[in-house]
Structure 1
């Protein structure tokens, strides 16, 4: 059987090597943050589940353990260049609890801290009778047209994506679905929310406001707030990009899976002319 391609290869405990499929959109010697965000989420899942838990079923996703909590928010601060070197991830629980739990992860590349992440997990409960306030769902992926991002971007990660726009893209405004046939980590099962998050950073490149050949607008962070656990192979992005007048920008996205909206994502941009 032919093995599927992957964005990362494990090379030791908490250590991973990016493949060419993780290649960045801005520079050839960098990786894209999107799969790295998914990898960090996967490492947090493994930490919470217990990497060597003898009671975990082999078919069980690493986030599916019986503490009854779901991911509600995860934030990533991108501290610097994301090189194509080996990545190590250190995770610790800094606020344990039965109702809420806060976990912190630091991803280091080439021996230097590159990303700091914090994730809140919240106790689940039956709130179906009061659920409401969600935005309208996106049109289904099979109703969307192909929207190749390679017209604006290069790199292995962008090339690995299947992108479908639900309407013609406008400068700074796009609604689209994204999926990939590339595994996050070679030989490892990942949770639905890790696979989902691995595609969310695509939002900052999917609704291009100005040509990246003339302007740079990399994001310094990514924060997701979730009101429902995402599932399925598609990540839906209802994205708006705003550039301010003093070098700041925002990429704001309503997140969807094939069943409907699941939350929101925000990215702070540094905008500068090339």
Structure 2
């Protein structure tokens, strides 16, 4: 049980655990985002004194289940910052489905810079009951591979929400789960957690995701505290504060296409 099985250095088999709630043949965007983030961090020659401060994913088309390839290239390498691009391409597609561009920043070292208050914490996940996902017409998918506990709102309650999320399966079978994996698998759920309109009557699809991290994540749980704003023209923004149990650690943002269901 894992989101992916590694075939070789570049290719992975996406399992049923990656399946999203809207299309039985398509992945939720969280697992591909995490796979690209890992590729950026673990590429050959990556400097251990740098970590991702910002990563943006352009979701160009749905990502099907099956074999995908991940490729990384360095756009700029500097003393204190570097920019790295990664692409995820489904087998036989001939073009990428998701393109990521990451800014990595050199870590100065603990205690070098004074800490600044990060904002209020969410209630700890241990104090909350598990939250069911809304009805999905297939048994296995992202909705079963993730454990969820709402601190505010719910999937079927329109409006702002806050949800703790934890991976039940590793990102890649037989490989350790990284802190960045946990954040990126969860961050794409902000628009679902804070749905501003009824998902039974409207679609609200994100074609991108940007994650900023000012602190390295810790622990298994990631909190997504989200709010969605929608213009009458049908353009929306899901804005999320990302947490671990120590407090806020960054932000996520998703641009939304909102329209009545056909």
Q: TM-score, normalised by structure 1?
A: 0.87
From the superposition, tell whether residues 101 and 48 of structure 1 become closer, same or farther in structure 2 (CA, over 3 Å).
farther
From the superposition, tell whether residues 140 and 265 of structure 1 become closer, same or farther in structure 2 (CA, over 3 Å).
same
SS in 2 for 1:150: coil
Q: Residue 103 of structure 1 corresponds to which residue in structure 2?
A: 84
How large is the RMSD of aligned CA atoms in angstroms? 1.9
Inter-partner Cα distance in structure 1 for 2:141 and 2:25: 11
Q: 1:98-247 counterparts in 2 under 5 A?
A: 98-110=79-91, 111=93, 112-126=95-109, 128=111, 130-151=114-135, 156-169=141-154, 170-247=157-234
Inter-partner Cα distance in structure 2 for 1:126 and 1:271: 43
Segments of 5+ residues of structure 2 without an aligned counterpart are none
Alpha-carbon distance, 1:17 to partner: 1.1
From the superposition, tell whether residues 101 and 124 of structure 1 become closer, same or farther in structure 2 (CA, over 3 Å).
same
Inter-partner Cα distance in structure 2 for 1:174 and 1:221: 20
> Which of 38, 43, 47 lines up with 2:43 in the alignment?
47
Alpha-carbon distance, 1:206 to partner: 1.7
Q: 1:69-84 counterparts in 2 under 5 A?
A: 69-84=50-65
Inter-partner Cα distance in structure 1 for 2:225 and 2:14: 28
> Which of 27, 34, 38 lines up with 2:30 in the alignment?
34
Inter-partner Cα distance in structure 2 for 1:209 and 1:158: 20
Q: Residue 55 of structure 1 corresponds to which residue in structure 2?
A: none
From the superposition, tell whether residues 116 and 213 of structure 1 become closer, same or farther in structure 2 (CA, over 3 Å).
same
Inter-partner Cα distance in structure 1 for 2:137 and 2:151: 20
From the superposition, tell whether residues 159 and 93 of structure 1 become closer, same or farther in structure 2 (CA, over 3 Å).
same
> Which of 7, 18, 37 lines up with 1:11 in the alignment?
7
SS in 1 for 2:103: strand
Inter-partner Cα distance in structure 2 for 1:144 and 1:16: 35
Inter-partner Cα distance in structure 2 for 1:217 and 1:159: 22
Query: More deviation in 106-115 or 29-38?
Result: 106-115
Inter-partner Cα distance in structure 1 for 2:243 and 2:136: 24
Inter-partner Cα distance in structure 1 for 2:121 and 2:54: 21
Aligned residues: 255
Inter-partner Cα distance in structure 1 for 2:103 and 2:231: 30
Query: More deviation in 152-161 or 132-141?
Result: 152-161
Determine whether 1:257 maps to 2:257: no
